[in-house]
Structure 1
Amino acid sequence: MSETFDQLPAGPETVPAPPPAKHGWLNFAIDFGPLLIFFITYKFTSGGEGAFAATAGAIKGTLAFMVAIVIAMAVSKWKLGKISPMLWMSGILVLGFGALTVWFHDERFIVMKPTIIYAGFAALLLGGWFFKKPMLKYLLQSALEGVTEKGWLALSRNWGLFFAALGIANHVMYELIQAGEMSFDLWLTIKVWGVTALSFLFTLTQLPVMMKNGLAVSESEAK
């Protein structure tokens, strides 16, 4: 999952998530900074013609991303005093799939990873919702004050469906890349800018749900 929650990593692998009430800019940097570093590194190192140049850029971008996600986790622990479960999961998958990408020199591992992450979060959130367990609340360790259990269940269901949709969309793009009908560059651009923008828009649609279910708003925010 950058909403009004805790850090949710993003990346070819970090997960879009709502920004928390406190340290919003820092959570945003932790969530999306590593992905932006991957994008910039890839763009500046994949010049030249042929598939080899693009693959070399992807490898360098992956290495930069792996370093950036470790730094993001360290900063989260240092400045926020914790590493959210979402960030832990994203970090582990980034390092795992990143290592496979570097070892096999295969961009497919980069494109596959978001599908697995989105599917995992969708299953966790929707499974929790089915069994009346608001998993989003525990995963994000959110500072959203006043949100009721009913509200957290609704948010878990909605974000579960959102992640499921992202997973399906990413898998479709993976198949298009495999069929030669879509480029890695286009996929990366959609991943960095499209999914990020979509996450913000989806977060806005969830604000009424949070307000309806007890979200506490300070006087300064209410004005």
Structure 2
Amino acid sequence: MSDEIIEKPPNAPGRKEVNPLLKFALELGPLVVFFFANSRGEAIARAVPALGNLGGPLFVATALFMMATVVALAVSYALTRSLPIMPIVSGLVVVVFGTLTLWLQDEVFIKMKPTIVNGLFAAVLLGGLAFGKPLLGYVFDQAFKLDDEGWRKLTLRWGLFFVFLAILNEVVWRMFSTDFWVAFKVWGTMPITVAFMLLQFPLLKRHSLEPLFDKKA
């Protein structure tokens, strides 16, 4: 068993890799559970009375979101014997703010979670750059092999993008209904993120150390 719980740096000897699609599913899965549970909260509450005692659909969804997040981290650890840095930061915020949401019966806490998470990611990435550490390599090194300048530029872009997502979440949850906010987390934030990722392909191509998507199984 590995002595290191947190994942090793990019390209470190002995670093275990997870299939990128599986990694994406583990990170997206809890969000899908949250959206589904909020849209079917009343039916879930009738089927599982213990969950119904937590409150309305958003509180049921919050509880299931927390459980799904912990399960995803457990599966990731079982596969690699380590925990990925960014999902564990997000997971800790989910558990803390989810617990406050359920305990105080105040949905504001769970609505602020994306703002806090994206703000933390922005601070970590931009702060790392300030010290000459392009930390995005921890996230994407399994999919891409870039030169140092490529990682620096990509880290800067993602850091600024997380700032944008934090501001966007604040605007949406404060100005629109809870149902709209939940739907936007999946059908708004996800397409925006995918579009942003696609726009990075020219940079990836310029700075890649090997042909993109040409890895042998």
Q: Indicate the TM-score class for this superposition, using the shorter chain for normalisation.
A: 0.7 to 0.9
- Is the contact made by 1:146 and 1:216 (CA closer than 8 Å) also made in structure 2? yes
Root-mean-square deviation (CA), in Å? 2.3
Residue-by-residue CA offset, 1:104-126 (whole Å, 9 max, x unaligned)? 11111111111011111112212
- Is the contact made by 1:144 and 1:216 (CA closer than 8 Å) also made in structure 2? no
Aligned match for 1:198, one of 185, 192, 196: 192
- Is the contact made by 1:46 and 1:58 (CA closer than 8 Å) also made in structure 2? no
Aligned match for 1:208, one of 196, 202, 205: 202
CA-CA distance at 1:219 after TM superposition: 7.9
Query: Paired residue for 1:142?
Result: 141
CA-CA distance at 1:220 after TM superposition: 4.9
Distance 1:218 1:110, change over 3 A: closer
Cα distance in 2 for residues equivalent to 1:145 and 1:170: 29
- Which structure carries more relative contact order (alpha carbon 8 Å, separation 6+)? 1
Distance 1:97 1:150, change over 3 A: same
CA-CA distance at 1:192 after TM superposition: 1.3
CA-CA distance at 1:42 after TM superposition: 1.2
Distance 1:80 1:207, change over 3 A: farther
The alignment status of 1:166 with 2:165, answered yes or no, reads yes
Percent identical among aligned pairs is 38
- Is the contact made by 2:125 and 2:159 (CA closer than 8 Å) also made in structure 1? yes
The alignment status of 1:122 with 2:122, answered yes or no, reads yes
Cα distance in 1 for residues equivalent to 2:103 and 2:80: 34
CA-CA distance at 1:22 after TM superposition: 5.6
Cα distance in 2 for residues equivalent to 1:73 and 1:41: 20
- Is the contact made by 2:143 and 2:213 (CA closer than 8 Å) also made in structure 1? no
SS in 2 for 1:135: coil
| Residue correspondence of structure 1 range 49-88 to structure 2 within 5 A | 56-88=56-88
| Residue correspondence of structure 1 range 104-115 to structure 2 within 5 A | 104-115=104-115
Distance 1:172 1:144, change over 3 A: same
Moved more, 166-175 or 142-151: 142-151
Cα distance in 1 for residues equivalent to 2:134 and 2:59: 38
SS in 1 for 2:200: helix
Query: Paired residue for 1:50?
Result: none
- Is the contact made by 1:136 and 1:155 (CA closer than 8 Å) also made in structure 2? yes
Cα distance in 2 for residues equivalent to 1:146 and 1:29: 21
Q: Amino acid of the residue matched to residue 156 of structure 1?
A: T
Q: Amino acid of the residue matched to residue 30 of structure 2?
A: P
Gap runs ≥5 in structure 2? 1-16, 44-54
SS in 1 for 2:149: helix
Aligned match for 2:37, one of 41, 49, 60: 41
Runs of 4+ off more than 4 Å: 218-221
Query: Paired residue for 2:26?
Result: 30
Cα distance in 2 for residues equivalent to 1:145 and 1:38: 30
CA-CA distance at 1:215 after TM superposition: 4.1
Q: Amino acid of the residue matched to residue 105 of structure 1?
A: Q
- Is the contact made by 2:37 and 2:60 (CA closer than 8 Å) also made in structure 1? yes
Aligned residues: 190
Distance 1:201 1:103, change over 3 A: same
SS in 2 for 1:146: coil
SS in 2 for 1:132: coil
Cα distance in 2 for residues equivalent to 1:108 and 1:189: 16
CA-CA distance at 1:46 after TM superposition: 4.2
Cα distance in 2 for residues equivalent to 1:219 and 1:137: 16
Cα distance in 2 for residues equivalent to 1:86 and 1:100: 21
CA-CA distance at 1:127 after TM superposition: 2.1
